Amino acid sequence: MIPGLVQILLWQGVGELISYFFLPILPGPVLGLIFLLVFLIIRGHVNAPLAMVSDAFSQHLGVLFVPAAVGVILFLPQLKANAFAIITALLVSVVLTITTTAVIVRFFAKKDSSES
């Protein structure tokens, strides 16, 4: 399990370095995950230690939502005071996301059917 954790931390460290020196607008862990994904796609498979760590993490994924739930409870008065703005922002973002996804899928579907 240690080699799998080392791999994950290595890619996170690379992401942190790239984020710090070149792309400060993107968080290092996000860049690290992107680099890990690209590495695994190029490699073509996931080695056993990394698979073991990822399985262990995914089994306990629900625990990661505990801090977010505590934050929601902690800021409940502010959330209640701004409920209309939050709900409006959420609805608009969902509609925009679905619309953008539909347009992109339709564009690629037309492009794919014209190539056949």
For residues 64 and 105, which has the higher predicted lDDT (pLDDT)?
A: 105
What is the mean predicted confidence (pLDDT) over 76-96? 95
∠ CA 65-94-16, rounded to 5°:
50
Q: For 49-73, b where at least 16 C-beta lie within 10 A, e where not — what string?
A: bbeebeeeeeeeeeeeeeeeeeeee
What is the mean predicted confidence (pLDDT) over 23-38? 93
What per-residue confidence (pLDDT) applies to 70? Answer: 87
For residues 95 and 73, which has the higher predicted lDDT (pLDDT)?
A: 95
Reported as a pLDDT band with limits 50, 70 and 90, residue 116 is low
- How far apart are alpha carbons 78 and 71 in whole angstroms? 11
Q: Is the pLDDT of residue 110 over 70?
A: yes
What is the mean predicted confidence (pLDDT) over 91-116? 89
How much is the pTM? 0.59
- How far apart are alpha carbons 100 and 94 in whole angstroms? 10
What does the block give as tokens for 22? 């070149």
